[in-house]
Structure 1
């Protein structure tokens, strides 16, 4: 059994959401942690994955918007400070792709999600550490997790899409 931990200095956690249905706003979480437990050093099939992000670390590059996202209108960071994920399966599709299924919890609501994981490979770094990389992507509906704030412009346009794209570029280091 091996435990791998996220190397935050070589990883990024992003989300993308349509604004006014004409452009996309990208946000990141600056504080997060996670582990991957495997029984094999090079094949991650069946791995157990746990991840959490601190809601208060959200950044979209616009302080007022970040404050709104942390408020009770959206994530309600004061009452729900973490977003968490625990895998239920990690199945190998081919040498480069996996299907990741698990329970995502936001704002106290847990839903099953399916994500795609592209395996970048395993490498030993300059310090002798064994590392592996994954790009994980998927889409969730924010309404499913109680993020129900909505507004319509005077012209009838939706301000924020319900669909949120998740994009995580994760490098893990073997413990």
Structure 2
């Protein structure tokens, strides 16, 4: 019998990092998201993951930059208000390390990506609910998803890097 787990938004972080001016990084996150994991195995080795984030919840702690990211230059939130991820497979490397494959859709463009996932275990939370935790990391090229805007500095350096690092800390509650 399948078990459904829901992301706990109070204990989950969905972050990304991208190079700025080639020498530093800007960190951002999504504050409004939801996701579920369905599995029949206690070790999540057959997990099916579904996730979506609200583009308008993006924050880099800079209102002007956030507004630009929501604009047609980047995410185009008016026409593409959500980003989604749906898993296609999961493979277990050892007791803690997994590889999660799936389709990421940003700005109407869907690409296959791979995330490294570390399973931190399952415990009883407050009350009687089981809680499981994962840490996920991956990289994407933003231009693959139509996020192509860039500027050049006076010396010809790029303002925004192409590689985006994904960093997700997920806490799941058994429903």
TM-score range, shorter chain: over 0.9
Q: Deviations over 1:12-40 (max 9, x none)?
A: 00000000011010001000000000002
- In 2, Cα distance between equivalents of 1:14 and 1:114: 16
- In 1, Cα distance between equivalents of 2:166 and 2:129: 28
- In 1, Cα distance between equivalents of 2:6 and 2:169: 14
Q: Give the equivalent residue in structure 2 for 1:48.
A: 48
Q: How does 1:1-175 map to 2 (within 5 A)?
A: 1-40=2-41, 42-175=42-175
Match of 1:46, SS state, is: coil
- In 2, Cα distance between equivalents of 1:67 and 1:171: 29
Superposed CA RMSD = 0.5
**Hey, which bits of structure 1, 4+ residues long, moved more than 4 A?**
none
Aligned residues: 174
TM-score, normalised with respect to structure 1: 0.98
> By how many angstroms is 1:127 displaced?
1.1
- In 2, Cα distance between equivalents of 1:7 and 1:127: 15
- In 2, Cα distance between equivalents of 1:77 and 1:69: 9
> By how many angstroms is 1:128 displaced?
1.3
Q: Mind listing any 5+ residue stretches in structure 1 that lack a counterpart?
A: none
> By how many angstroms is 1:107 displaced?
0.2
- In 2, Cα distance between equivalents of 1:126 and 1:61: 32
- In 2, Cα distance between equivalents of 1:113 and 1:38: 20
- In 2, Cα distance between equivalents of 1:46 and 1:38: 6
> By how many angstroms is 1:126 displaced?
2.0
> By how many angstroms is 1:45 displaced?
0.7
